[in-house]
């Protein structure tokens, strides 16, 4: 495809590109002479006379209309996909959002096909009283309907119009490559996506081939999946009309392409752009043929900070779809992706930021257009010849956008199995049980029974009838933006994609539990677990004076839990982020010469896409903390500095070379003592580098810090100074530094400790352990471990009173208040400011604390 430099025109305020007139005007925008924007590269669409669009009342809709004369109100004429492309070219391309040009084949052309030989009436007879749950009959009727359309063909005037529009679009006399995509009049609507229900054809060249592809798109109105979708969504089969978008191809076969959502599609979290991509044409990602790369960008910081990216994951990208050579009938082919390409990202950070900026612009425009927030599902492509990025499709997201805002859905899965059989990427946050139905080929979907778990390599739109019947879906391949994921979300079916080897490990006819309730990782267990589902109305929960906060350790659950009615996160267990997201001892990336050869090789493999193992460590830790901070922004999150004990640090890669073997690590080298120890100062500095990155370069200044196991005021002074030397100065840009009040020395000397910290968080587990002299890991003494012991309560009372006496905030981290109403009542009566708990205990705790506060006021 050749690229030309053209001038883009800006309309007057009341014309096509203006923003003064209401966005929901009754006619499409009309281009007028206006100032010229700076020259830039856009697709080679000749904006002249491709079937000029006449909006005057009573006029006949032409068979083809140029994208640059189409707007969103033209959906009845050109369908949702084409209308959206025209809308973006008219309104967003002047703002820098590049969209390849093309033309739409209108519903008038489709009507002209059905007006031949009483075809409309014949189709009506075929579809009358069709039971779409009868898959064999559905396939038979769909096949007959498509055959009837293909046999009647395009009327001569329709074919001539399509071929003429194509020829005119290929401005230099050559035959350009185009995508021919269905754009039905009920497709890509705000309340019904019709995703993948009709046909698309890529790399089509030549006027006759384009016309033939248009006819096949018209016939695909009657695919099994499209018939089923219309039936379940109460659309009249003959009132939904065919239309087609003919769009210039972007040479992403030489680069990459993918899908972006302007919200998290599985939790509905609105402040993130989720961008997925893989090498070659975007059908690999959309069709679930690969496990794509995925990058998350925090929308409020786009264009404001150096690094708004909060997560980068590299997928397996098993295959790539590229152009075929020569005159092959098949215009594309699938090849295996080279190992070195699988191991690296298919799109850069710079690409990510540009795409995210465009996604925000697109979402903003469509939200204004519709009069309410409108998250978007967007397809993008990168041209491998020019390096230019393009948006090739945009439609409203139709699942999470319709979710009730003031309701929290909580699914709890209880199973006896210790370990899952297989894991993958969770779609949604639900769970289901059922009997596995392993289907290798599409031709076998008729064996599927309602309520079974569909297990397949991948799914495409033809599998929709089977997905509708499934209690859950599991696929070997695919990412969060693939077809199986999109359809499963829309149907409310739990789904796990990218579960490598599922079709081999899961046995046909055996019972399993599919669990997507625990964050980004979906897990499959043997047998049928007990599943409890609750929908909690947040607006009906009582308000509490005592702040309820969360305890979190896993960044992948943050978006899910951000909708809970909490004041923030009172404890982020940073050491768990290090263990799960990195798995390497911090000293191991700083002193590789002390490692075994196997350990060095393993670390180098983990860090191969970063500049160094140290850069890998800092990036992964900052992304983990940043994901949690972004999920709750601007609510504060308090990150406890690393608090693993020496025996736990030893389990990390390389840890055995740097950790002592202590007799009692629970009261050994941990917390503040570790940060100041000469053997671990460099490791602490590395931790600080990641935290500074989160606050300064990611802009997440809602991050507060907390020092654990701080034995003396000398240690308090040393750690606060060490933080300041690393750029984390208490008070700078609102940074607060807290202290875990978990040692008797913290309680007895709280007046002295108060001068170094902004607040205290009572760690009930360690405080109980040390007040009672009990190893909290001891099974033999477990019956004596009790936060309600009078000695422990006295220590807690002294800590609260001492904090108040020094004008400091004080909270408590632990489950006891949600399990023991009397303990919650005690905390409230003593004036505790906040209570932090794990997410599953929040709703119970709110009700218990509210009752305690009411009783205290009585």
Determine contact, residues 502/514, Cβ cutoff 8 Å: no
Map tokens 């639900």 to a residue: 430
Distance of alpha carbon 595 from alpha carbon 578, whole angstroms = 19
Determine contact, residues 516/430, Cβ cutoff 8 Å: yes
Distance of alpha carbon 720 from alpha carbon 725, whole angstroms = 9
Distance of alpha carbon 557 from alpha carbon 553, whole angstroms = 9
H/E element holding 848? helix 842-857
Sign of the C-alpha dihedral computed for residues 146, 152, 157 and 159 taken in this order: positive
Q: Residue 425's closest CA among 468, 384, 478, 470?
A: 478
Q: Which of the following is catalytic: 483, 554, 561, 585? A: 483
Specify whether 813 is catalytic. Answer: yes
Distance of alpha carbon 645 from alpha carbon 666, whole angstroms = 6
Q: Which of the following is catalytic: 71, 688, 739, 813? A: 813
Determine contact, residues 425/496, Cβ cutoff 8 Å: yes
Order of strands, sheet of 309-313, starting from the edge strand that comes earlier in the sequence:
309-313, 293-298, 272-279, 256-261, 376-382, 389-396
Question: DSSP assignment of 392-433, as one string?
Answer: EEEEE--SGGGS-TTEEEEEEEE-S-SS-SEEEEEESS-EEE
DSSP state of 21: S
What the block records as the tokens of 777 is 């890991």
What the block records as the tokens of 307 is 């690094």
Determine contact, residues 497/484, Cβ cutoff 8 Å: yes
Map tokens 């400790």 to a residue: 753
CB neighbour class for 125 (10 Å; exposed up to 12, middle 13-18, buried from 19) = exposed
Specify whether 482 is catalytic. Answer: no
Map tokens 């089509």 to a residue: 204
Taking CA atoms, 192 is separated from 185, 469, 479, 558, in Å, by 11, 19, 21, 28
Distance of alpha carbon 422 from alpha carbon 628, whole angstroms = 26
Coil, strand or helix at 707: strand
CB neighbour class for 266 (10 Å; exposed up to 12, middle 13-18, buried from 19) = buried
Determine contact, residues 429/531, Cβ cutoff 8 Å: no
Coil, strand or helix at 272: strand
Half-sphere exposure of 629 (CA within 13 A, CB side): 31
Determine contact, residues 592/607, Cβ cutoff 8 Å: no
Q: Residue 158's closest CA among 119, 212, 122?
A: 212
What the block records as the tokens of 804 is 């108040």
The residue ranges of DSSP E strands in 583-656, in sequence order, are 637-640
Half-sphere exposure of 229 (CA within 13 A, CB side): 28
3-state secondary structure 357-395: HHHHHHHHHHHHHHCCCCCEEEEEEECCCCCCEEEEEEE
What the block records as the tokens of 782 is 């477990």
Q: Residue 83's closest CA among 100, 94, 68?
A: 68
Distance of alpha carbon 465 from alpha carbon 20, whole angstroms = 46
Q: Catalytic residue numbers?
A: 483, 813
């Amino acid at each position: 495809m050749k690229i030309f430099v053209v001038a883009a025109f800006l309309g007057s305020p009341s014309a096509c590109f203006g923003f003064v007139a209401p966005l929901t005007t009754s006619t499409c925008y009309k281009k007028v002479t206006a100032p010229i924007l700076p020259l830039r590269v856009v697709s080679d669409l000749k904006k002249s006379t491709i079937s000029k669009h006449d909006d005057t009342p009573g006029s006949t809709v032409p068979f083809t209309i140029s994208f640059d004369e189409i707007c969103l109100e033209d959906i009845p004429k050109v369908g949702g996909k084409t209308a959206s492309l025209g809308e973006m070219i008219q309104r967003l391309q002047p703002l820098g959002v590049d969209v390849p040009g093309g033309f739409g084949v209108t519903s008038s052309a489709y009507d002209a096909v059905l007006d031949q030989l009483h075809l409309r009436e014949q189709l009506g007879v075929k579809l009358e009283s069709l039971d779409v749950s009868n898959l064999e009959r559905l396939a038979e009727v769909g096949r007959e309907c498509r055959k009837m359309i293909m046999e009647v063909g395009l009327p001569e005037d329709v074919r001539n119009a399509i071929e003429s529009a194509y020829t005119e679009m290929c401005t230099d006399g050559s035959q350009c490559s185009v995508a021919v995509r269905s754009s039905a009049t009920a497709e890509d609507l705000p309340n019904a996506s019709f995703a993948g229900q009709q046909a698309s054809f890529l790399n089509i060249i030549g006027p006759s081939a384009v016309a033939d592809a248009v006819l096949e798109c018209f016939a695909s109105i009657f695919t099994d999946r499209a018939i089923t979708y219309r039936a379940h969504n109460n659309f009249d089969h003959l009132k939904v009309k065919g239309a087609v978008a003919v769009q210039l191809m972007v040479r992403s076969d030489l680069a990459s392409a993918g899908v972006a959502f302007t919200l998290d599609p599985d939790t509905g979290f609105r402040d993130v752009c989720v961008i997925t991509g893989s090498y070659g044409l975007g059908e690999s990602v959309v069709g679930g043929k690969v496990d794509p790369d995925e990058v998350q960008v925090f929308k409020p910081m786009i264009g404001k900070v150096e690094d708004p990216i909060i997560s980068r994951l590299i997928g397996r990208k098993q295959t790539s779809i590229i152009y075929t050579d020569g005159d092959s009938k098949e215009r594309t082919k699938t090849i295996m992706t080279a190992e070195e390409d699988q191991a690296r990202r298919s799109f850069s950070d710079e690409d990510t930021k540009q795409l995210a900026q465009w996604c925000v612009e697109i979402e903003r425009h469509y939200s204004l257009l519709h009069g309410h927030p409108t998250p978007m599902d967007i397809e993008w492509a990168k041209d491998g010849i020019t390096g230019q990025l393009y948006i090739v499709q945009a439609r409203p997201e139709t699942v999470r956008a319709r979710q009730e805002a003031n309701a929290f859905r909580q699914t709890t899965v209880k199973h006896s199995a210790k370990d899952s059989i297989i894991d993958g990427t969770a779609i949604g946050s639900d769970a289901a049980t059922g009997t596995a139905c392993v289907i290798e080929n599409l031709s076998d979907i008729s064996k599927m029974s309602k309520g079974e778990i569909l297990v397949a390599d991948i799914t495409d739109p033809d599998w929709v009838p089977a997905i509708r019947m499934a209690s859950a879906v599991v696929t070997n391949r695919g990412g969060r933006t693939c077809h199986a994921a999109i359809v499963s979300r829309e149907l409310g079916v739990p789904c796990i994609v990218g579960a490598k080897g599922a079709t081999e490990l899961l046995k046909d006819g055996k019972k399993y539990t599919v669990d997507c309730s625990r964050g980004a990782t979906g897990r499959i267990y043997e047998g049928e677990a007990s599943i409890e589902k609750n929908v909690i109305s947040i607006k009906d929960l009582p308000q509490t004076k005592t702040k309820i906060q969360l305890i979190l350790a896993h960044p992948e659950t943050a978006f899910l839990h951000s909708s809970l009615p909490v004041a923030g996160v009172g404890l982020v267990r940073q050491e768990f982020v290090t263990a799960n997201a990195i798995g390497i001892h911090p000293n191991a990336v700083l002193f590789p010469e002390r490692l075994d050869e196997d350990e060095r090789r393993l670390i180098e493999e983990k860090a191969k896409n970063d500049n160094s193992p140290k850069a890998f460590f800092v990036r992964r830790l900052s992304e983990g903390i940043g994901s949690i901070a972004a999920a709750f922004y601007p609510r504060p999150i308090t990150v406890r500095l690393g608090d693993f004990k020496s025996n736990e640090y030893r389990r990390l890669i390389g840890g055995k070379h740097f950790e002592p073997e202590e007799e009692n690590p629970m009261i050994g080298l941990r917390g503040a003592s570790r940060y100041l120890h000469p053997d671990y100062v460099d490791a602490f500095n590395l931790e600080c580098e990641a935290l500074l990155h989160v606050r300064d370069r990611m802009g997440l200044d809602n991050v507060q810090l907390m020092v654990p196991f701080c034995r003396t005021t000398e240690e308090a002074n040393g750690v606060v100074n060490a933080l300041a030397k690393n750029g984390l100065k208490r008070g700078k840009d609102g940074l607060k530094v807290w202290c875990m009040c978990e040692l008797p020395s913290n309680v007895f000397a709280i007046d002295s400790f108060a001068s170094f910290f902004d607040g205290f968080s009572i760690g009930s587990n360690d405080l109980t352990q040390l007040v009672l002299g009990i190893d909290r890991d001891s099974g033999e003494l477990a019956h004596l471990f009790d936060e309600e012991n009078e000695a422990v309560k006295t220590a807690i009372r002294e800590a609260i009173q001492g904090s108040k006496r020094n004008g400091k905030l004080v909270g408590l981290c632990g489950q006891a208040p949600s399990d023991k109403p009397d303990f919650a009542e005690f905390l409230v009566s003593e004036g505790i400011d906040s209570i932090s708990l794990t997410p599953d205990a929040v709703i119970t705790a709110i009700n218990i604390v509210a009752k305690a506060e009411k009783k205290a006021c009585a």
